[in-house]
Amino acid sequence: MWVKCPYCNADLHYEPRSKTEKGRKLCSGCGRHFTIKCDIRCYGCSVHEGELHLDGCDLAECNACGEQIGGCLCDAESAPFFDFPTFCSKCGKVDPDFFLVSDEEWNETVPFKHRNDVICWECYCFMRSRLNLPESIPELSTNDISKKIDEIAKLALEFGDLEIAIRYYFTT
């Protein structure tokens, strides 16, 4: 199986052990390592890549405008599901966990031209240590953010309005 490196376009070498096992790929050009998911499914409705989302899937996007199917006014069907992984721009880690730090801290740590990049926690901590900056503690973990989103979604169902739910959540 041949895939190209997103950084240098060289071949990635990999031999899968099974269809569902995660594997490692090594770039023949720049030497970066990547973790690859072999059996990727939609988190909302469990369809495989290339299949149309099932009716009622919250992650289904309109194939005409790109908005969520439930919120657009187009008369188009949903776009097929494909996973587009996110990479740490420093080490190449696939789908790193997101974290939050203050803008001030981010700007003192990350060089200007990379401030819009995705950087994994390990690389961020490494950069801070090389700059002799104090250890950082993220404001919220990905799990914390997911829990907050779930709480807001429940309020939106209760109130019947997302905007009211968001205002209520952040003012109580």
User: What residue ranges do the domains of the chain occupy?
Assistant: 1-39, 41-82, 142-171
Separation CA 10–CA 8 (nearest Å): 6
Contact predicate 168/157, CB 8 Å: no
Which residues share a beta bridge with 33?
26
Separation CA 12–CA 123 (nearest Å): 22
- Terminal alpha carbon distance of the chain: 53
Which residues share a beta bridge with 24?
35
pTM score: 0.49
Stretch 19-26: mean pLDDT, rounded?
Answer: 53
pLDDT in tens, 56-80: 888 888 888 888 887 888 878 888 8
Contact predicate 123/110, CB 8 Å: no
